[in-house]
Amino acid sequence: MRQRQLGPFTVSAIGLGCMNLSHAYGVPPSPEQGAQVLLKALDLGCTLFDTAALYGFGANEELVGKVLAPHRSRFTLASKCGMQGVGGKRVIDGRPATLRATCEDSLRRLRTDVIDLYYLHRWDKAVPIEDSVGALADLVKQGKIRAIGLSEVSAATLRRAHAVHPITAVQTEYSLWTRNAEVAVLDACKQLGTAFVAFSPVARGFLTGALRDVATLDAKDIRRAMPRFAPDNYAANLRLLEAFEALAAQAGVTPAQLALAWLLAQGDHIIPIPGTTSLAHLADNLAAADLDLPAEVLARAGELINAGNVVGPRYPAAVQVEIDTEEVPS
């Protein structure tokens, strides 16, 4: 697989987001099925695995640690702190003492002595970003983490953090239907030498074309609370898929591969991390790293689905206030 640079690490151009093996999209797969996905990704050349303390309230780190610890030298390990489960509830807490404690818990669950890339999952706005990043910088000095990342932050916050300690990566949602990164932070990353890790690069399943009826989503699936997946909005968004799927077919690729190829073409510092519970979809996603699609096909994909024609914000209002990412002007 083609490679990209993630700070000091050379990684596969497409990584694996591990969240949905334990979290967020209804009933997760069995640990056995999750293990199959992780090991198959490694076999297919994926060398970036992304987890977090939040996912499954520790269960995802446990899974990743149990399955991949014997292969630790073969991949770059990323996890996150600053948002986790406390007493069964999701809590954002960026205080230095909390970040230190979370790191110790993550190291234990991941069965490793060091986490390669450790993100502040959310900026706790009650704590100066300089204080949270300073605590992570101390973890670097102690050899418990190798590099620092931030998630869902603005260009201004990235620059403040970078002044305290080099920021290796920013992780934010980015895809054909979510273009917030293009407002400012994508360029800021390029200027600072910071990699941009794109989560939900196939739009939480929308760009695969497989999800036609949101009524089939599990009652606990987080997409049920997301405005774009509300029945009326989703029906409008589905109308965008027909031409997109036809374009993919003409190019001889799947819709998911077209979405990932488009994302990779937006900058050499961009690394998508699609997640899946399916071995077939895993192989399909990772194969997109080696595609060479014509520039006009990629440009057309961006014209067919973009911030101007997608209906609905990406997060409900209660979640939107928790993030720091720039908003696309309406």
256-291 burial, b at 16+ Cβ within 10 Å, e below that, comes to bbbbbbbbbbbbebbbbbbbbbeeebbebbbbbbeb
What pLDDT, in 10s, does the model give residues 190-209? 999 999 999 999 999 999 99
At 3, the pLDDT band (50, 70, 90 cuts) reads very high
Region 233-241: mean pLDDT is 98
What distance in Å separates the CA atoms of residue 168 and residue 9, rounded to the nearest whole number?
Answer: 10
Instruction: Please answer whether residues 266 and 190 qualify as being in contact, where contact means their C-beta atoms are separated by less than 8 angstroms.
Output: no
Return the domain boundaries, the chain. Answer: 3-203+267-290
Average pLDDT, the chain: 97
What distance in Å separates the CA atoms of residue 134 and residue 120, rounded to the nearest whole number?
Answer: 11
Q: Which of 25, 55, 119, 315 is catalytic?
A: 55
pTM over 0.95: yes
At 246, the pLDDT band (50, 70, 90 cuts) reads very high
What pLDDT, in 10s, does the model give residues 268-323? 999 999 999 999 999 999 999 999 999 999 999 999 999 999 999 999 999 999 99
Instruction: Please answer whether residues 289 and 264 qualify as being in contact, where contact means their C-beta atoms are separated by less than 8 angstroms.
Output: yes
Give a three-class secondary structure readout of 118-137: EEECCCCCCCCHHHHHHHHH
CA angle 160, 123, 98 (to 5 degrees): 110
What pLDDT, in 10s, does the model give residues 142-184? 999 999 999 999 999 999 999 999 999 999 999 999 999 999 9
144: phi then psi, degrees, rounded to nearest 5? -90, -25
Tell me the sheet residues that pair with 118.
79, 148
Instruction: Please answer whether residues 80 and 54 qualify as being in contact, where contact means their C-beta atoms are separated by less than 8 angstroms.
Output: yes
Region 7-28: mean pLDDT is 97
- What pLDDT does residue 112 have? 98
Domain 3-203+267-290: state its class.
alpha beta
What pLDDT, in 10s, does the model give residues 70-104? 999 999 999 999 999 999 999 999 999 999 999 99
At 329, the pLDDT band (50, 70, 90 cuts) reads confident
Is the predicted pLDDT of residue 330 greater than 90, yes or no?
A: no
- What pLDDT does residue 72 have? 98
Tell me the sheet residues that pair with 281.
none
Which residue has tokens 């992304």? 50
- What pLDDT does residue 238 have? 98
Structure tokens at 326: 């720039």
174 is catalytic: no
